[in-house]
Amino acid sequence: MFNKILIANRGEIALRVIRTCKEMGIKTVAIYSKADADSLHVRFADEAVCIGPPPSSESYLNIPRIMAAVEITNADGVHPGYGFLSENANFSEICRQSGVKFIGPTPEMINKMGDKVTAKETMIKAGVPVVPGSEGLLKDVKQGIKIANQIGYPVILKATAGGGGKGMRIVTKDDEFEAAWDSARKEAKASFTNDGIYVEKYVEEPRHIEFQIIGDQFGNVIHLSERDCSIQRRHQKLIEESPSPFMTPELREKMGDAAVKAGKSINYEGVGTIEFLVDKYRNFYFMEMNTRIQVEHPVTEEVIDHDLIKEQIKVAAGIPISGKNYYPKMHAMECRINAEDVFNGFRPSPGKINSFHSPKGHGVRVDTHVYAGYTVPPYYDSMIAKLICKAQTRDECIKKMQRALDEFVIEGIKTTVPFHKCIMKNEKFKSGDFNTGFMNTFSIDDCIE
Ligand code: ADP
- Annotated active-site residue 292? The verdict is yes
Mean pLDDT of 200-216: 96
Lowest mean pLDDT among 23-37, 90-104, 187-201: 187-201
- Strands 207-215 and 221-233 turn out to be antiparallel
C-beta of 277 in contact with ligand 1 (< 6 A): yes
Judge whether residue 364 has pLDDT over 90.
yes
C-beta of 274 in contact with ligand 1 (< 6 A): no
- pLDDT value of position 422: 95
Mean pLDDT of the chain: 96
Mean pLDDT of 22-26: 98
Residue ranges covered by each domain of the chain:
4-103, 132-201, 207-447
- pLDDT value of position 163: 81
CA of 134 to the centre of ligand 1 (A): 16
Task: Locate the ligand 1 atom nearest the alpha carbon of residue 287 and give its number.
Answer: 6
Task: Locate the ligand 1 atom nearest the alpha carbon of residue 288 and give its number.
Answer: 6
Which residues share a beta bridge with 199?
Answer: 157
Judge whether residue 449 has pLDDT over 80.
no
C-beta of 165 in contact with ligand 1 (< 6 A): yes
Confidence of residue 39 (pLDDT cuts 50, 70, 90): very high
What is the third-level CATH fold of 132-201?
Answer: Dna Ligase; domain 1 (3.30.1490)
- pLDDT value of position 63: 98
pLDDT tens per residue across span 151-206: 999 999 999 988 878 999 999 999 999 999 999 999 999 988 899 999 999 998 99
Confidence of residue 324 (pLDDT cuts 50, 70, 90): very high
Mean pLDDT of 397-414: 98
Catalytic residue among 10, 207, 252, 292, which? 292
Sign of torsion over alpha carbons 130, 442, 239, 241: negative
Mean pLDDT of 116-143: 93
CATH of 4-103, one of 3.40.50.2300, 3.40.50.20, 3.40.190.10, 3.40.50.300: 3.40.50.20
Judge whether residue 443 has pLDDT over 80.
yes
Alpha carbon nearest to ligand 1 atom 19, residue: 287
CA of 217 to the centre of ligand 1 (A): 30
Mean pLDDT of 128-151: 95
Lowest mean pLDDT among 5-9, 114-118, 122-126, 295-299: 114-118
Judge whether residue 332 has pLDDT over 80.
yes
Task: Locate the ligand 1 atom nearest the alpha carbon of residue 201 and give its number.
Answer: 23
Nearest of 391, 423, 444, 437 to residue 208 by alpha carbon: 437
C-beta of 131 in contact with ligand 1 (< 6 A): yes
Q: Which residues contact 84 (CB under 8 A, 6 or more apart)?
A: 8, 9, 56, 60, 61
Judge whether residue 124 has pLDDT over 80.
yes
What CATH homologous superfamily does 207-447 map to? ATP-grasp fold, B domain (3.30.470.20)
- pLDDT value of position 294: 98
Q: In this prediction, what percent of the chain has a pLDDT beyond 90?
A: 93
17-26 contacts at long range (C-beta below 8 A, 24 or more positions apart): 17/79, 17/81, 17/309, 18/44, 18/45, 20/307, 20/309, 20/310, 20/313, 21/313, 23/307, 23/310, 24/310, 24/313, 25/1, 26/1, 26/2, 26/77, 26/313
Judge whether residue 445 has pLDDT over 90.
no
Task: Locate the ligand 1 atom nearest the alpha carbon of residue 204 and give its number.
Answer: 25
Judge whether residue 114 has pLDDT over 90.
no
Mean pLDDT of 76-98: 97
What is the C-alpha to C-alpha distance for residues 89 and 108, in angstroms, rounded to an integer? 7
C-beta of 115 in contact with ligand 1 (< 6 A): no
Judge whether residue 16 has pLDDT over 90.
yes
Mean pLDDT of 392-419: 98
- pLDDT value of position 292: 97
CA of 349 to the centre of ligand 1 (A): 26
CA of 165 to the centre of ligand 1 (A): 7
